[in-house]
Amino acid sequence: MTLTPVLTDTWDKDRSWRLATYERAGGYAGLKKALKTEPADLVQAVKDSGLRGRGGAGFPTGMKWGFLPPPDGGPRYLVVNADESEPGTCKDIPLMLASPQHLIEGVAITSYAIGCDHAFIYVRGEVLHVYRRLLNAVEEAYKAGYLGKNILGSGYNLDVTVHAGAGAYICGEETALLDSLEGLRGQPRLKPPFPAVAGLYARPTVVNNVESIASVPAIVAKGADWFSSMGTEKSQGHGLFSLSGHVTRPGQYEAPLGITLRELLDLAGGVRQGHELKFWTPGGSSTPIFTAEHLDVPLDYESVGAAGSMLGTRALQIFDETVCVVRAVSRWTDFYAHESCGKCTPCREGTYWLKQVLHRIEAGEGQDSDLDLLLDLCDNILGRAFCALGDGATSPITSSVQLFREEYQAHIDGHGCPFDPSASALFAYTPKTRTPGALAGAGAGGH
Amino acid sequence: MTADPVETATRTRYDADTLAALTADATAIMERYPNPRSGLLPMLHLVQSIDGYVSRDGILFCAEMLGITAAEVSAVATFYTQYKRHPNGTYTVGVCTNTLCAVMGGDAIFDELSEHLGVGHDETTDDGAITLERVECNAACDYAPVVMVNWEFFDNQTPETATALADKLRLGEDVAPTRGAASVCSFKQMSRVLAGFNDGRADEDAGTGEPTLAGLRIARERGWTAPDGPDSEPDRRGETITGEPGSSAERRPTTPSDTQVGKDKKPGEDAK
């Protein structure tokens, strides 16, 4: 399978982030065409394209737009989720840094399609230069007449506000994002009502991921059939695959959905020289881990799901045989405990206990009953938490215990970790003596 | 009693000039949103741009601007990790110690920096230059291990590069990220940008890293492209009106809704 640069196609151009660069590459052809098209036909085109949400859940984008109730004369909103924070996920940030106009054009087309005259881009606050690029891109688009009043003479008006968050993973959950955008603590809302019915300021709202919205201009300009000519029957189009970790050439690989990790690793020069693949995540830390047995699983929504995980955000974190799976999972668990918003008990208390148990196993103080205790805790979180954060926290634990139970047991039986942490680093160093508490990471602080 | 002017009615202890400037900026922030309360997060960044943290005065100021209680502002300020509850250093040095960066060397970098600077997580050096933090995944995994300085990217770090970076920061020297602006600004300057005030530095570019371009480089070498669109992409003005050539009406049916006329249409949609 060959790579298919669409969103990445301008990234190697001089000053790729500028509007002029984007226009020279054919940018804003989609918006020009869209403004001459009935909004309902645009929604239909995106439905026909098969585009599914690129932020992890994979919900059909056009269908999400179609859920908006009929216009009642009041405002409707588009909110772009640019709060990219899922561990391993690193696609939207380079996209917005290198080619923010892809997103801005997508915002303009989508807003027109759903009847919105004020759109918001919620970008995480921890990426200063990305925020600068977005602010600048919006200013450039206003000056060129792609945003603002009477866009390109169409009579359509659109304002875009770029909003910086302030550090909270949970704000990637769409209803928590909306609460945060309303100036509140970012905690998820009870659904229903879904944002399509009562979202921002309790008005009909579409919340879409950056890559989803950035994919819209080419769908409009080149047609739904063009988009669906890439990918598989049910997972259509192109997507950014982000390789990281113990791989020779980590980075962004834009390919049709359905490419395999084996193919991607071939392109990326393979696993770190002299080492072999131990485990990997197909879609970020919240997706159950895979091993070398899964190298040929097509990376599309259906195939990854059938193999027991989730395509998620195509965040392919590669870990070789030097990595202790207990250490890896324990650290992810610190993350979930730190980022749990505290609204619901299973997640707030459950992630805290998972963290304690994993820490003691890692420190060589685990008990024989601890593995069953971990699984029991996961059983009490999965499906019982208020939002997907709690479910996600259990994925790495249950999948790794299933695949590497003997490695957990070795920590318990041997009263410590059998791995040398320096072997997995990219440089030589002598590990400093640490106290167990030092492993708590940022999770020690809590919100 | 007659109403006091706003300046004297405030419970904050900002001097008149500072308060006037803050008020003007906060007003501009609130005007960006249909509901002014949406301005609270940027307003807290604004407060940090003056005080270097979310101070008592800053909380009162936000509460007064938005007509909410100080407790409501505090509830929000304490939820988000970027809002600091004590004076921050000129530079926040954040080492990613989430799983991937940690195993690739982030743990070693944090330990080395912590020992070198004599401070732990969320602590500030005595000279006020650096606040050291462990940070969560910052969406740069393809550049692991990653260090952030005032939320600019310092990619592919080692203990040696990180300590050299910290030394430069403590000496007050300019440092340039590997991706981002030409140099790192101060915590207060950064906070003002995060409040939504463009500092005009978007065109500065420390460079596009190789991982960002990894796939594109291969596609260029091998002549791989996405499929071509339809051959002719002329101006199809007018052709997309339902019923005319090239319109959606001519598209081959691919989903059930294509053959069930009107099923997708909601009442009132025609009114548009």
DSSP string of A149-167, one letter each residue: SSGGGSS--BEEEEEE--S
Q: Is residue B141 part of a domain?
A: yes
Query: Would the pLDDT of A381 be above 70?
Result: yes
Map residue A148 onto helix, strand or coil: strand
**Closest alpha carbon to A213 in A107, A139, A121:** A107
Q: Does A66 touch chain B (CB under 8 A)?
A: yes
**Is residue B72 within 8 Å of B87, Cβ to Cβ?**
no
Q: Does A446 touch chain B (CB under 8 A)?
A: no
**Is residue B210 within 8 Å of A180, Cβ to Cβ?**
no
Q: Is residue B100 part of a domain?
A: yes
Give me the pLDDT at residue A110, please. Answer: 98
Interface test mutation site (partner B, options A1, A2, A3, max chain B beta carbons within 10 A): A3
Q: Is residue B59 part of a domain?
A: yes
In A, minimum Cα distance to B249 occurs at A41
**A263 phi and psi, to 5 degrees?**
-65, -45
Q: Does A129 touch chain B (CB under 8 A)?
A: yes
**Closest alpha carbon to A286 in A186, A440, A173, A177:** A173
Map residue B11 onto helix, strand or coil: coil
Tokens of B249: 């009406």
Domain that includes residue B150, residue range: 91-191
State mean pLDDT over A92-112.
98
CA distance A298 to chain B (A): 18
In percent, the amount of chain B with pLDDT more than 70 equals 82
The owner of tokens 């530079």 is B91
Q: Is residue B263 part of a domain?
A: no
- Determine whether the interchain pair A98/B78 forms a contact, defined as Cβ–Cβ distance below 8 Å: no
Query: Would the pLDDT of A341 be above 80?
Result: yes
CB within 8 Å of A222: residues ≥ 6 apart: B229, B230, B233
Give me the pLDDT at residue A106, please. Answer: 98
Q: Same domain, yes or no, for B73 and B97?
A: no
- Determine whether the interchain pair B111/A434 forms a contact, defined as Cβ–Cβ distance below 8 Å: yes
Q: Same domain, yes or no, for B95 and B177?
A: yes
CA gap B167, A202 in Å, rounded: 50
Q: Same domain, yes or no, for B54 and B139?
A: no
Q: Is residue B259 part of a domain?
A: no
Give the domain-ending residue among B45, B77, B109.
Answer: B77
In A, minimum Cα distance to B189 occurs at A128
Q: Is residue B167 part of a domain?
A: yes
Residues 175-214 of B with CB under 8 A from A: 177, 179-181, 190, 193-196, 198-199, 201-203, 205, 208, 210-214
CA gap B74, B37 in Å, rounded: 14
Please measure the distance between the N-terminal and C-terminal CA atoms of chain A and give it in whole angstroms: 45
User: For residues A174-194, b (16+ Cβ closer than 10 Å) or e, as one string?
Assistant: bbbbbbbbbbbbbbbbeeeeb
Tokens of A310: 């989730």
Query: Number of folded domains in chain B?
Result: 3
Q: Same domain, yes or no, for B71 and B44?
A: yes
**B17 phi and psi, to 5 degrees?**
-65, -45
Question: Can you list the domains of chain A with their CATH numbers?
Answer: 19-228 (3.40.50.11540), 238-320 (3.10.20.600), 325-446 (1.20.1440.230)
Give me the pLDDT at residue B230, please. Answer: 78
**Mean predicted lDDT score pLDDT of chain A:** 96
Q: Same domain, yes or no, for B100 and B72?
A: no
State mean pLDDT over B239-268.
46
Give me the pLDDT at residue B229, please. Answer: 80
Map residue A318 onto helix, strand or coil: strand
CA gap A162, B204 in Å, rounded: 19
Say how many C-beta atoms besides its own lie within 10 A of residue A227's C-beta: 27
- Determine whether the interchain pair B194/A166 forms a contact, defined as Cβ–Cβ distance below 8 Å: yes
- Determine whether the interchain pair A442/B211 forms a contact, defined as Cβ–Cβ distance below 8 Å: no
Between CA A103 and CA A107, with CA A104 as vertex, the angle to 5 degrees is 85
Q: Is A321 exposed, middle or buried (0-12, 13-18, 19+ CB in 10 A)?
A: middle
- Determine whether the interchain pair B251/A48 forms a contact, defined as Cβ–Cβ distance below 8 Å: yes
Query: Would the pLDDT of B265 be above 50?
Result: no
The number of C-beta contacts closer than 8 angstroms across A and B is: 359
- Determine whether the interchain pair B44/A166 forms a contact, defined as Cβ–Cβ distance below 8 Å: yes
Please name the helix (run of DSSP H) or strand (run of DSSP E) that holds residue B256, with its range, or none.
Answer: helix B256-259
Interface test mutation site (partner A, options B35, B136, B252, max chain A beta carbons within 10 A): B136
CB within 8 Å of A265: residues ≥ 6 apart: A243, A247, A271, A277, A295, A318
Angle between helices A128-143 and B187-194 in degrees, nearest 10: 40
Contacts of B98 in chain A (CB under 8 A): 87, 331-332, 335, 441
Q: Same domain, yes or no, for B167 and B102?
A: yes
pLDDT tens-digit profile of A146-182? 999 999 999 999 999 999 999 999 999 999 999 999 9
Q: Does A132 touch chain B (CB under 8 A)?
A: yes
Q: Same domain, yes or no, for B165 and B221?
A: no
Map residue A78 onto helix, strand or coil: strand
Give me the pLDDT at residue B47, please. Answer: 98
In A, minimum Cα distance to B267 occurs at A70
In A, minimum Cα distance to B74 occurs at A185
Give me the pLDDT at residue A441, please. Answer: 42
In A, minimum Cα distance to B236 occurs at A33
Contacts of A238 in chain B (CB under 8 A): 226
Give me the pLDDT at residue B234, please. Answer: 46
Alpha helical stretches, state H, A99-185:
100-114, 128-143, 174-181
Give the domain-ending residue among B17, B44, B77.
Answer: B77
Q: Same domain, yes or no, for B119 and B181?
A: yes
Query: Would the pLDDT of A438 be above 80?
Result: no
Q: Does B259 touch chain A (CB under 8 A)?
A: no
Check which CATH number belongs to the domain holding B150 and give it: 3.40.30.10
pLDDT tens-digit profile of A220-277? 999 999 999 999 999 999 999 999 999 999 999 999 999 999 999 999 999 999 999 9
Q: What is the ipTM of this complex?
A: 0.95
Q: Same domain, yes or no, for B95 and B162?
A: yes
In percent, the amount of chain A with pLDDT more than 90 equals 96
**A427 phi and psi, to 5 degrees?**
-140, 160
CA distance A297 to chain B (A): 20
Give me the pLDDT at residue B249, please. Answer: 46
Alpha helical stretches, state H, B31-158:
40-51, 56-66, 70-77, 99-101, 107-117
Q: Same domain, yes or no, for B170 and B104?
A: yes
Q: Which of B136, B267, B272 sits opposite A338 (nearest CB)?
A: B136
Give me the pLDDT at residue A365, please. Answer: 97
- Determine whether the interchain pair A41/B78 forms a contact, defined as Cβ–Cβ distance below 8 Å: no
Q: Is residue B14 part of a domain?
A: yes
Query: Would the pLDDT of B10 be above 80?
Result: yes
Q: Does A257 touch chain B (CB under 8 A)?
A: no
Give the domain-ending residue among B53, B77, B101.
Answer: B77
CA gap A391, A286 in Å, rounded: 8
Q: Is residue B260 part of a domain?
A: no
**Is residue A213 within 8 Å of A107, Cβ to Cβ?**
yes
CA gap A284, A86 in Å, rounded: 6
Q: Same domain, yes or no, for B102 and B46?
A: no
Query: Would the pLDDT of B176 be above 50?
Result: yes
Q: Does A202 touch chain B (CB under 8 A)?
A: no
Q: Same domain, yes or no, for B172 and B118?
A: yes
Furthest-apart CA atoms within chain B: distance in Å? 80
Confidence of residue A432 (pLDDT cuts 50, 70, 90): confident
CB within 8 Å of A170: residues ≥ 6 apart: A176, A186, A187, A188, A339, A340, A341, A387, A389
